[in-house]
Structure 1
Amino acid sequence: MIDKVFEKSITKQFEFDEEVASVFDDMLNRSVPYYKEMQRLSINFACNYLKDEDYVYDLGCSTASTLIELSKHCQAKLNLIGIDNSEAMLNRARKKAKAFGVDITLINDDLHNIDYTNAKLILSNYTLQFIRPLQREKLVKKIYDSLQSGGIFIFSEKVISSDSTLNKQSIDEYYEFKKSQGYSEFEISQKREALENVLIPYTQDENIKMILDAGFSHCETIFKWVNFATFIAIKK
């Protein structure tokens, strides 16, 4: 379905409810620049580390697209677990996983409540930015503690610039991108207002510092487009 969520005036802050879930795949592709390329790169990097029976967790898995694509492109037979606190998203994920014949364990819960047992890979695509900073850092520490030695954490986030001029230019560039995807000025402004104080981005350096402070030996940006970035963190 086509994303028309913000064609009408908003009455609440942004949430991943049934209305959003029904158009989420279209929303991602039209709202996140080079989303498919980011997903492809994440999967390619991940496959280098994975072996048969490894456990993979996707935090904020939404409709399970990344886990389905990982299953399709990785040679290893994996234990796939998707976690999301939106039942509406998971309902879509179940239907998609069944349609593609991919076995995924889907869990409706808060990310802080999950025991990420035997994790070799943990994924998080544009999820940490919705978690309050103090809780975000606690979750990243939990991710580090849960990963096996040699495990990896791949995550994507919207980022901001520490330079105010560059930050404004990035926002303007992103605005033009959304217009090029068919969103009206009204839709763009409505979504921005709905996300205010819900999505709290870090700078690229702040994301890397958070990762290293949690104990990871290395964190590197593997993809970036203006104010969107994908990182890989390694636990030695």
Structure 2
Amino acid sequence: MVDKIFEKSIKKQFEFDEDVASVFDDMLSRSIPFYKQMQELTIEFALNYLQKDDTVYDLGCSTASTLIELGKQSNFDLNLIGIDNSSAMLSRASKKCKAFGIDIKLRNEDLLDTSYDNAKLVISNYTLQFIRPLQREKLIKKIYDSLKEDGIFIFSEKVISSNKVLNKQCIDTYYDFKKKQGYSEYEIAQKREALENVLIPYTDDENKKMILDAGFSHCEVLFKWVNFATFIAIK
């Protein structure tokens, strides 16, 4: 379905409910620049590290698109686990998994309360930004502790610049992108208001510091477009 959620007045904060789930795949492709390329890059780097029967977690898996693509492209069996606290998202994920014939365990759980046993790879695409800073740091530490010694963490986030002028230019460039995808200025303004105090982005340096403080030996940017970035962290 086509994302038209913000064509009408929104009187609540953004949440991953049934309305959002029903248009989520379209929302991703039109709201996040180079989302498909980022996803392909994530899978390419993941397959460089993964071996048969390794366990992969996708945190905030939404409709399971990334895990489905990983399962399709892998030449060996993987233990794929998708975690999300939105039942609406997981319902659609389950249908997609069946349609593509990919075996993925879907868990409706809180990311801070669940376990990541025997993890070789943890993926998080535009999920950390929705977690409050103090809780975010706890989650990163939990991910680090759960990963095998040679494990990796690949995550994508909306980022901000510490330079106010540059940050404004980045936001303007991003809004121009959304307009080219067919979103009106009213829709853009509505979504921005709905996300206020819900989505809390970090700078590149803040993301890297959070990762290294948790114990990871290395973290760097794999891909970046203006204010969207994909990072890889190595334990």
**TM-score for both structures, normalised by structure 2:** 1.00
SS in 2 for 1:222: strand
Instruction: Look up the match of 1:43.
Output: 43
Matched ranges for 1:25-174 at <5 A: 25-174=25-174
1:140-170 CA-to-partner distances (Å, cap 9, x unmatched) read 0000000001100000000000000000000
Alpha-carbon distance in structure 2 between the residues aligned to 1:48 and 1:149: 16
Letter paired with 1:108: N
Matched ranges for 1:216-235 at <5 A: 216-235=216-235
SS in 2 for 1:40: helix
Give yes or no for contact 1:50–1:76 (8 Å, CA) kept in 2.
Answer: no
**How far off is 1:119 after superposition?**
0.1
SS in 1 for 2:49: coil
Alpha-carbon distance in structure 1 between the residues aligned to 2:177 and 2:139: 32
SS in 2 for 1:47: helix
Quote the sequence identity (%).
77
Instruction: Look up the match of 2:206.
Output: 206
Instruction: Look up the match of 1:195.
Output: 195
**How far off is 1:74 after superposition?**
1.6
Letter paired with 1:16: F
Matched ranges for 1:173-192 at <5 A: 173-192=173-192
Alpha-carbon distance in structure 1 between the residues aligned to 2:112 and 2:173: 34
Alpha-carbon distance in structure 1 between the residues aligned to 2:18 and 2:154: 27
SS in 2 for 1:206: helix
**How far off is 1:216 after superposition?**
0.2
Alpha-carbon distance in structure 1 between the residues aligned to 2:204 and 2:211: 11
1:172-217 CA-to-partner distances (Å, cap 9, x unmatched) read 0000000000000000000000000000000000000000000000
**How far off is 1:113 after superposition?**
1.1
**How far off is 1:222 after superposition?**
0.2
SS in 1 for 2:61: coil
RMSD between superposed Cα atoms in Å? 0.4
Give yes or no for contact 1:87–1:108 (8 Å, CA) kept in 2.
Answer: yes
Alpha-carbon distance in structure 2 between the residues aligned to 1:188 and 1:166: 20
Alpha-carbon distance in structure 2 between the residues aligned to 1:76 and 1:173: 41
Alpha-carbon distance in structure 2 between the residues aligned to 1:185 and 1:164: 22
Matched pairs, number: 235
**How far off is 1:114 after superposition?**
1.0
Structure 1's consecutive aligned runs of 4 or more residues displaced over 4 angstroms after TM superposition are none
SS in 2 for 1:112: coil
Letter paired with 1:26: D
Instruction: Look up the match of 1:21.
Output: 21
**TM-score for both structures, normalised by structure 1:** 0.99
Alpha-carbon distance in structure 2 between the residues aligned to 1:148 and 1:77: 18
Alpha-carbon distance in structure 2 between the residues aligned to 1:9 and 1:192: 12
Alpha-carbon distance in structure 1 between the residues aligned to 2:77 and 2:209: 33
Give yes or no for contact 1:58–1:122 (8 Å, CA) kept in 2.
Answer: yes
SS in 1 for 2:67: helix
Letter paired with 1:23: V
**How far off is 1:77 after superposition?**
0.7
Unaligned 5+ segments in structure 1 are none
Letter paired with 2:143: I
